[in-house]
Amino acid sequence: MHKRLRKLVLWTASFTVFICFTPGHVESTGSPKTQKGREYYEKTGDVTWEYPSQKNMIALTFDDGPDPVDTPQILDLLKKYNAKSTFFVVGKQVDEHPEVARRQVAEGHELANHTYTHAYFTRNSSVASIRNEMEKTQQSIIKVTGQKSYLFRPPGGFYSDRMIDTCRKDGYLVVMWSWHQDTWDWNRPGVHKIVNKVLNNARSGDIVLMHDHVEGKSQTIEALKQILPELQKRGFRFVTVSELAGRHIPHDASQVH
């Protein structure tokens, strides 16, 4: 999506959901409580934002890929620091760059669902449209990896009760991110801002939000060159969301419905 258009979509969606339902980005800046917000869904276990831990583990997550240029560079850095990550992939990108997706899995990372077209779900999104986006991506992931993902992250962090209910019925855990670890790297705010956001707020159990596919030249790669060694020096271990949550990807895709 063109950067200017993406900003417009996010602003429009933010205004809409501010009135109608609970979004991740708006909540993180302090929106009024809605009928079912973070506290409710953390108690039900349907949505997670982080997993506070004493084990010095942190989950780096990357959205919107795979990208044929940026993702391989990120994989090289992760390999250098023995870091495992979760990539929330867009199904269309997987279909276009299956070799990158295969490499991600081969190197011990996990792929998770981020819709097929990077679709923003609103309060009015139908169950059929939600399932269509998720199922198409699921099939793309299975086609290249032989594994079925059970993790889902809605683009923009926008969610509704209907979307979460659909995910629960279909066997997905909705994974957001730690509010203090939203790097906004897709907007290219400057390498130093991305680095400072992560390092100044790093806590065990964090889920960090980054992107391996952005419009324009990525700043994420340069930021990772500073983030990875510094967090490693502090004793952090980089793990997948599944490991952070104490869950494992089933080897048999049929185990997830």
Catalytic residues: 63, 211
Exposure letters 193-207 (e unless 16+ CB within 10 A, then b): bbbebbeeebebbbb
255 contacts: CB under 8 Å, gap ≥ 6: none
Q: CB 30: neighbour CB atoms within 10 A?
A: 7
Query: Rounded CA gap, 127 and 9, in Å?
Result: 21
Please name the helix (run of DSSP H) or strand (run of DSSP E) that holds residue 245, with its range, or none.
Answer: helix 241-245
202 contacts: CB under 8 Å, gap ≥ 6: 58, 181, 231, 234, 236
The DSSP call for residue 238 is E
Residues 151 and 173 sit within 8 Å (Cβ to Cβ) = yes
Q: Kindly write down the DSSP assignment for every residue of 21-65, as one continuous string.
A: S-BHHHHHT-PPP-SS-HHHHHHHTSEES----SS-EEEEEEES-
